[in-house]
A and B are shown apart, each in its own frame.
Chain A
Amino acid sequence: DAMVIQNPRYQVTQFGKPVTLSCSQTLNHNVMYWYQQKSSQAPKLLFHYYDKDFNNEADTPDNFQSRRPNTSFCFLDIRSPGLGDAAMYLCATSSLTGADSPLHFGNGTRLTVT
C-alpha cells in the first residue's frame, strides 16, 4: 500500500547531541510537511516543501533544519536538541491538485531528550 513511513518510531538522544529523523513516501506527492506535536497540543508546522521549494515557518527555531533530496524522502535535523524539543514529530504529504487534497500522515517519531 502507498504510504508515509517514518523512521525510527522512537528516538532517544542526549541533550545537545544532533539527531536526524527520516520520512519516506510512496504516494508521489509534491508536498511534504514536518509537524511537531507535544502532549495534548495541536500539531505545529515546522517546515513544508512544495516540490523542492522550501518553506520555513517564521517561529521555527534555527535549531531545526530540513532536507528533501528527492520526491520520496525528507529529513528533519535537530542540531542541538534541548529538553523542550521532546515531542512527537509527524511527517505528512499531500498533492497539489486543488481543494480535494487530504493530508496523509506517517505514524510519527517520538523523540526523547535525556
Chain B
Amino acid sequence: KQEVTQIPAALSVPEGENLVLNCSFTDSAIYNLQWFRQDPGKGLTSLLLIQSSQREQTSGRLNASLDKSSGRSTLYIAASQPGDSATYLCAVTLSGNTPLVFGKGTRLSVIA
C-alpha cells in the first residue's frame, strides 16, 4: 500500500528565505506526483505535476523535483512571501486509473 510522508509537519520562516519542503513515498512505481496548496478552510489548488518520466517542473518561484528511485520529491520555494503561507500537500498515483494518495501536508508560515 502506497504511503506518502511529508516532513516537516510545520515550518516557519522569515520573509525572503528560500525553503524546501520534502515528500517521500513508499512505492517508487508512481505514474505522477502532484504538489498542492491549501489555504485554511479552502479546497486544494494544484501547483505542479511531475510525470514519472520527468525530473522536475517549474512555475514561477516554485520548483518541484522528483527522484523516483529514492521515493522522494522536494518543493523549492524561492524568495518566500507572506502570501505563500498555506499548507502544501504532496500526492502520488500509481497509474492513470488510480486515485491520488496524499500526504498530510506541511503547514508553512512566512513571517513578514
Q: Which residues of A contact B (CB under 8 A)?
A: 4, 6, 33, 40-43, 45, 48, 50, 88, 90, 92, 96, 98-108, 110
Contact = CB atoms under 8 A, between A and B. Distances in A.
Interface string B43-71: 11110010111000000000000000000
Nearest to B43: A105
Contacts of B42: 107-108
28 contacts: A4-B43, A33-B99, A40-B9, A42-B102, A42-B105, A43-B44, A48-B99, A50-B97, A88-B41, A90-B43, A90-B44, A92-B44, A96-B96, A99-B32, A99-B51, A99-B52, A101-B32, A101-B96, A102-B34, A103-B36, A103-B44, A103-B91, A105-B44, A105-B45, A107-B42, A107-B43, A108-B41, A110-B41
A43 B51 contact: no
Contact of A42 (B32, B45, B104, B107): B104
Contacts of A103: 34, 36, 44, 46, 91, 100
B89 interface: yes
B4 interface: yes
Contacts of A48: 99
A98 to B, nearest CB: 6
Contacts of B89: 42-43
B99 A108 contact: no
A99 B54 CA distance: 11
B38 to A, nearest CB: 9
B96 A99 contact: yes
B75 to A, nearest CB: 15
| In the A-B complex, the 3 residue pairs with the closest CB atoms | A105-B43, A42-B102, A102-B46
Given A45-B100, A104-B46, 11 more contacts: A40-B104, A40-B107, A42-B103, A43-B44, A90-B44, A99-B31, A102-B46, A103-B46, A103-B91, A105-B44, A107-B43
A98 B36 CA distance: 19
A45 B101 CA distance: 8
B99 A45 contact: yes
